[in-house]
Amino acid sequence: MARIDKLLLGMEDTEASDLHMVVAQPPKYRIHGDVIAVEDYGPLTEKEMEEYLLGILSEEDQKRYLENLDFDFGYGIEGRARFRCNFFFQRTGYAAVFRIIPEHIQSIDELGLPAVLKKMTETRSGLILCTGPTGSGKSTTLAAMIDYMNENMRRHIVTIEDPIEFVHKNKQCIITHRETHNHTKTFGSALRAAIRQDVDVVLVGELRDLETIALALTAAATGALVYGTLHTNSASKTIDRIIDVFPEDEQAQIRTMLAESLRGIVAQLLLRRVKKGRVAANEILLSSQAVTNIIREGRIERLVDVMLAGKKDGMQLMDDVLDQYVKGGLVSGHEAFMNAQDKRRFEHLADKTKV
């Protein structure tokens, strides 16, 4: 058992989502959004940090970390949990952040996500995006959707991640996990290869650059169902972000490709509950002829009207969800105000002492 395992396993007991470690500071857990020092631990020395961090790296990975100064990888404690790890250097020396990835993949129902996400998995081709800020639970939501397919469909699913997060056991589907740098050089090369691997579904960990976005759109256009993530917090901003990545002289063509291939956007925020814990809030846009036309014509501001009209089909606006959560006593008015798209709608609920 590695020395760091005790700290990592303590995350489950305290319901922590992340572990932060920095030289000259005690280790700290992020619990329900707050960063709190771990009990019974003092400030970490450089020697202790070296033992904690390098103790779970191979010689080759140690070399990569020390040469590149940043290093992302996955680490697992068998039967308990996996962790997404980022090692880096800062002013006082070694530093690291660990994000817990539970062994048990929660279902769409267990997470309390909208039932329409199940219907979205039935799509045979196109592009589905799960978006939101860092730490909003995008990977957890996508894992639940992949698990639903794994339980109910017979498909070949390829995941391309950096690093691998949730590990799916083959049920009805064949699931191939690929990690950049270890199993493939880049997201782009893995996406190109996926098209030749008799793939039905491709999960791309992050649409991080022009090449990856372009290849994802191409894969979606050629018959695969592509899932990807972006760091945007609404459907309209997601569409704008994708198009704006490309040079101006290519944007008309990309707008057309996106209009034809987009099947849905699930924008997600993770909110503090009034009592304890956090709860996901989702804005959902589903493909329709009206959505296709709006994207092609560049009239993104009209998406709000489409989502309002599409409530019966499962579409919803983030601010409407926030309003429901406040009325249901799930989140505070101030939490809704801080996360709202239209601040004026929730301004009367804001705690002025915190703004």
Residue-wise pLDDT tens digits, 293-316: 999 999 999 999 999 999 999 999
* Cβ count within 10 A of residue 168: 18
Find all residues with CB under 8 Å of 276, minimum gap 6, and list them: 32
pLDDT digits over 310-329, tens only?
999 999 999 999 999 999 99
Q: What's the pLDDT at 50?
A: 96
| HSE (side-chain half, CA atoms, 13 Å) at 120 | 32
Q: What's the pLDDT at 171?
A: 97
Q: What's the pLDDT at 354?
A: 65
| Strand order from edge to edge, sheet including 70-77 | 34-37, 28-31, 16-22, 93-102, 81-90, 70-77
The amino acid that residue 2 corresponds to is A
Q: What's the pLDDT at 126?
A: 97
Q: Which of 6, 92, 83, 84 is nearest to 50 (CA)?
A: 92
Burial code (b: 16+ CB inside 10 Å, e: under 16) for 60-91 equals ebbebbeeeeebbbbbebeeebbbbbebeeee
Q: What's the pLDDT at 276?
A: 87
The amino acid that residue 153 corresponds to is M
Q: What's the pLDDT at 353?
A: 55
Take residue 50 and report the two structure tokens written for it.
């070296």
Residues of the chain with pLDDT under 70: 352-355
pLDDT digits over 47-66, tens only?
999 999 999 999 999 999 99
Q: What's the pLDDT at 336?
A: 96
Residue 45 DSSP one-character state: P
The amino acid that residue 44 corresponds to is L
Query: What DSSP string describes 160-176?
Result: EESS--S-PPPSSSEEE
Task: Domains for the chain: give ranges and CATH numbers.
Answer: 5-102 (3.30.450.90), 116-316 (3.40.50.300)
Residue 315 CA, chain-centre distance (Å), reads: 20
DSSP lists the bridge partners of residue 114 as none
Q: How far apart are CA 298 and CA 287, in angstroms?
A: 15
Q: What's the pLDDT at 78?
A: 86
Prior bond to 163 cis, omega within 30?
yes
